[in-house]
Amino acid sequence: MYPIKLCNKANYGSKRKTDIKYIVIHYTSNKGDTALNNVTYFARETLKNPASAHYFVDENEIWVSVPDDFVAYHCGGKTYKHKTCRNSNSLGIEICMNDKNGNIRYDSIKKAAILTRILMKKYNIPISNVLRHHDITGKNCPAPMVENPKLWQDFLNSLTAKPQTEEIDDDMKIYTKIDEMPDWAKASVKKAIDKKIISTDKDGAISVFEPNLQSLVWMDRAGLFDKK
């Protein structure tokens, strides 16, 4: 379960209307920054040119800025190299990739790979649909992985390697019943079901990824479930 600091609503879009088919990797381009620094900035500021990402990652933490089921403005452009990947059908991951001296923070990349693997499994995304921002619009982002293709290939290779820790399995837990969930999440999830934000199958079962529980609680507390 990842901590959440919701992005300023002016900086991201509405609820997603299409399936998530792609994961787009970015870098923050700052030196020595943290995931928390970034989510705090995007929560506080109203940007003249709205921009956002779903996740920010450093070597220590993964922070959620925009819920998966909302559109983040992370890979839009006037022209596109990629035929189909757009903000509307993708998740954006920003990596705090450079230290204060401009050197690569490999542990940040490793943590981003763990998150990417989790999201690939959750949304059934093939490795061919894990892209750099560069692959979509031609932007030099993430610059270290554009300027050094081997760094990008090593990242892709890590997505298919056998997991070395239990972290992925722990984060993969999916709840199918409200009764199985922690008490702090039950009321918000029930409200989300009642509001048709979470769908149920013909037997009334649900499918909620554990890291999304906290997102649902925050959305409920922000009053998003009470809007018509």
Q: What is the pLDDT of residue 172?
A: 57
Describe the chain by its helix, strand, coil percentages, rounded to 5: 40, 15, 45
Let me know: does 97 contact 144? Beta carbons within 8 Å: yes
Q: Which of 8-12, 134-138, 199-203 has the lowest mean pLDDT?
A: 199-203
Comparing 183 with 98, the larger pLDDT belongs to: 98
Distance CA 33, CA 96 (A): 6
Nearest residue to 174 via CA among 108, 224, 124, 110: 124
Residue 166 has a pLDDT of 45
Burial annotation 134-161 (CB, 10 A radius, 16+ → b, else e): bbbbebebbbbbbeeeebbeebbebeee
CA distance 211 to 91: 15
What domains are there in the chain, each with its CATH number? 9-168 (3.40.80.10), 173-226 (no CATH)
Question: Could you tell me how far CA 110 lies from the centroid of its own chain?
Answer: 15
Question: In this predicted model, what pLDDT tens digit does every residue of 133-181 receive, in sequence order?
Answer: 999 999 999 999 999 999 999 999 999 987 655 454 545 577 888 998 8
Please give the full DSSP string across 172-212, using - where no structure is assigned.
Answer: T-EE-SGGGS-HHHHHHHHHHHHTTSS---TTS---EEHHH
Q: Which of 123-132, 145-154, 164-173, 190-199 has the lowest mean pLDDT?
A: 164-173
Kindly give, in sequence order, each residue whose CB lies less than 8 Å from that of residue 48, ignoring residues fewer than 6 positions away.
Answer: none
Provide the pLDDT for residue 164.
57
**The pTM of the whole model exceeds 0.85:** no
Q: What percent of the chain has pLDDT over 90?
A: 69
Q: How far is residue 2 from each of residues 22, 50, 61, 130, 164, measured CA to CA in Å?
A: 20, 24, 8, 21, 20
Question: Quick one: average pLDDT of 83-100?
Answer: 98
Give the tokens for residue 228.
Answer: 């018509």
